[in-house]
């Protein structure tokens, strides 16, 4: 991975951490973006007790099909699965924000920012 790609990836990780922290939801970046694995796996730790591991991926063109699929019928949630792989759930940020409000990770009035 080139230097500009690392800078772009780190900036996106900080953006996501700041988004959570600005809403009162605990989030932090992992050392070396999780390259250490184990306890330091993943790019981010999110949620109460920082108990959820998150990966951040930012690409210029790679996710067009996902964006098109979620836009179909103005969907809130997209379920995807490759053959012989587990199902993944893709959410627009507004839907994700609503869900973590319902979980009590962020106060409802803060999430309306």
Return per-residue pLDDT of the chain as tens, 113 residues. 688 888 888 999 999 999 999 999 999 999 877 667 677 789 999 999 999 999 999 988 889 999 999 999 999 999 999 999 999 999 999 999 999 999 999 987 755 54
pLDDT value at residue 97: 96
Parallel, antiparallel, or unpaired for β 78-80 and 88-90? antiparallel
- The domain limits of the chain are 3-111
Look up residue 52 and give its DSSP letter: E
Q: How far is the CA of 21 from the CAs of 35, 99, 100, in angstroms?
A: 23, 16, 13
User: How far is residue 18's CA from residue 64's CA, in Å, rounded to a whole number?
Assistant: 25
Task: Give pTM, 2 decimals.
Answer: 0.84
Whether the CB-CB separation of 78 and 66 falls below 8 Å is answered with yes
């Amino acid at each position: 991975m080139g230097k500009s790609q690392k800078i772009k990836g780190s900036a996106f990780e900080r953006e996501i951490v700041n988004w959570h922290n600005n809403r009162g939801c605990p989030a932090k970046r992992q050392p070396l973006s999780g390259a250490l694995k184990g306890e330091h796996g993943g790019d981010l730790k999110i949620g109460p007790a920082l108990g959820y591991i998150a990966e951040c991926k930012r690409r210029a063109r790679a996710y067009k099909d996902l964006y098109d699929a979620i836009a179909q019928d103005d969907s809130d949630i997209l379920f995807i699965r490759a053959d012989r792989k587990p199902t993944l759930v893709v959410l627009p940020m507004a839907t994700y924000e609503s869900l973590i409000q319902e979980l009590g990770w962020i106060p409802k009035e803060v999430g309306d920012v």
